Structure 1
């Protein structure tokens, strides 16, 4: 079996298993602190917005949050998440082959699908999923560097973490209603994963996040599926990073 096909099959199987387990993880997430006063009150959960109390206009109250247990219990969820994770991870396997970075990216694919599902339905990126992913990502980056015998992998991962996180922090400070603190918290993982692959992937993946978010937000807003002024950005971050991993070298070569 060709290496690319074997890597794709292996990544798809691992991704599917991760997707099947995702509902169990979602069901065990602790609920965020309720907003005082209910509708028209304030949002205090740093996973969603800004980490500080943010007034919610009375004329546009925040809809009640769907409990994580209810999200996890939806029929067929495990199969759907498994299918999406398998497709995305399998495509990465085909593109990367048996690259030392493949374990990191298969894990990122499963995490991205899980976070996207939660964020889409709650507009929250739970820190209980995001924060523990950092040490795992660092360990997998170390593994990739060790297998490749190249310390530049770690340098790029560290630089990607710093660059992408700084970019999101600046955007959050400049336009806090456009970027939530949950997005800032997630951004470092994108930087690590993309940096491990290369500078082209880091550049393309970071840029693609905003392009996909802008185009997708406008399209979904025109269809009435989201509020164009307040839609979950997590799914677009995950998809943009995945696009960078898949298309980064080709686009960089075309641009050169």
Structure 2
């Protein structure tokens, strides 16, 4: 059995087992403080779905496990038996949980994103220093700051179209992509926007409703998709596009 196949099997298995814990993780997220509603009741948003209700959805555990296992296998096949699996595999079910929460609530809980980011930074830094891969470590940290800053600018310019949770999530996305290379960073960020915009445009055209383009949609799941594409195919795609 080759190292690539073994890495794919191991990463898929461990990530899939972690995916079974997604409902438990979501159920433990504390509910945010309620925000004051607008003066006009007609402009009030529908009530947020409780995290406990999301966690109790039938089949969420096995679906999260299947998605986590598939993503983990792809990452294992792309990385082989290499150090990045130490942070990519644990982050996979966390990313699935955040995607589920954001899809149903348009929120990315700080109590999940920040600890996951700090843990990833700690592991990446330890591996980078212990294995003398300082160039990859510096690139990962710089990419984390650069991608987060980029999303912060987007949020600052138009906060109505992007939540600050997306800015927080941009940090671990930039970190893991940066370790792989700048091509992975570019492809990962670009793919997240393409994956977000194209379906929305297609749906608006199909329904012939321009107002859909002004609606707020969760961006977190598409950031996760972009990160996966960047990690698995980013370097190869960047090489073909930019040489």
Q: Which stretches in structure 1 are left out of the alignment for 5+ residues?
A: 42-56
For residues 117 and 222 of structure 1, the distance between their equivalents in structure 2, rounded to whole angstroms, comes to: 26
The 5 A counterparts of 1:32-71 are 32-37=32-37, 40=38, 58-71=41-54
For residues 163 and 214 of structure 1, the distance between their equivalents in structure 2, rounded to whole angstroms, comes to: 22
* TM-score normalised by the chain length of structure 1: 0.87
Residue in structure 2 matched with residue 235 of structure 1 by the alignment = 221
For residues 223 and 24 of structure 2, the distance between their equivalents in structure 1, rounded to whole angstroms, comes to: 23
Cα 1:18/1:202, change in 2 over 3 Å: same
Residue in structure 1 matched with residue 14 of structure 2 by the alignment = 14
Residue in structure 2 matched with residue 137 of structure 1 by the alignment = 120
Cα 1:87/1:221, change in 2 over 3 Å: farther
For residues 254 and 63 of structure 1, the distance between their equivalents in structure 2, rounded to whole angstroms, comes to: 45
Residue in structure 2 matched with residue 86 of structure 1 by the alignment = 69
8 Å Cα contact 2:25/2:97 also seen in 1: no
For residues 204 and 228 of structure 2, the distance between their equivalents in structure 1, rounded to whole angstroms, comes to: 23
8 Å Cα contact 1:100/1:145 also seen in 2: no
Cα 1:217/1:99, change in 2 over 3 Å: farther
What's the CA shift for 1:223?
6.5
Q: Which stretches in structure 2 are left out of the alignment for 5+ residues?
A: none
For residues 69 and 216 of structure 2, the distance between their equivalents in structure 1, rounded to whole angstroms, comes to: 29
Aligned residues: 238
What's the CA shift for 1:142?
2.1
Moved more, 135-144 or 165-174: 135-144
Cα deviation, 1:156-205, whole Å, max 9, x if unaligned, reads 11111111011011111111112211111111111111111112111211
Decide which structure has greater helix share. 2
Root-mean-square deviation (Å): 1.9
For residues 107 and 71 of structure 2, the distance between their equivalents in structure 1, rounded to whole angstroms, comes to: 22
Cα 1:98/1:222, change in 2 over 3 Å: farther
For residues 170 and 89 of structure 2, the distance between their equivalents in structure 1, rounded to whole angstroms, comes to: 17
8 Å Cα contact 1:13/1:86 also seen in 2: yes
- Could you tell me which of 101, 105, 125 is aligned with 2:108? 125
8 Å Cα contact 1:66/1:121 also seen in 2: yes
Q: Secondary structure of the equivalent of 1:186? A: helix
Cα deviation, 1:130-157, whole Å, max 9, x if unaligned, reads 0111221112212432464311121011
8 Å Cα contact 1:101/1:140 also seen in 2: no
Runs of 4+ in 1 over 6 A off after TM superposition: none
Moved more, 137-146 or 122-131: 137-146
Cα deviation, 1:103-123, whole Å, max 9, x if unaligned, reads 222223222111110000111
Moved more, 22-31 or 209-218: 209-218
8 Å Cα contact 2:75/2:232 also seen in 1: yes
Residue in structure 2 matched with residue 103 of structure 1 by the alignment = 86
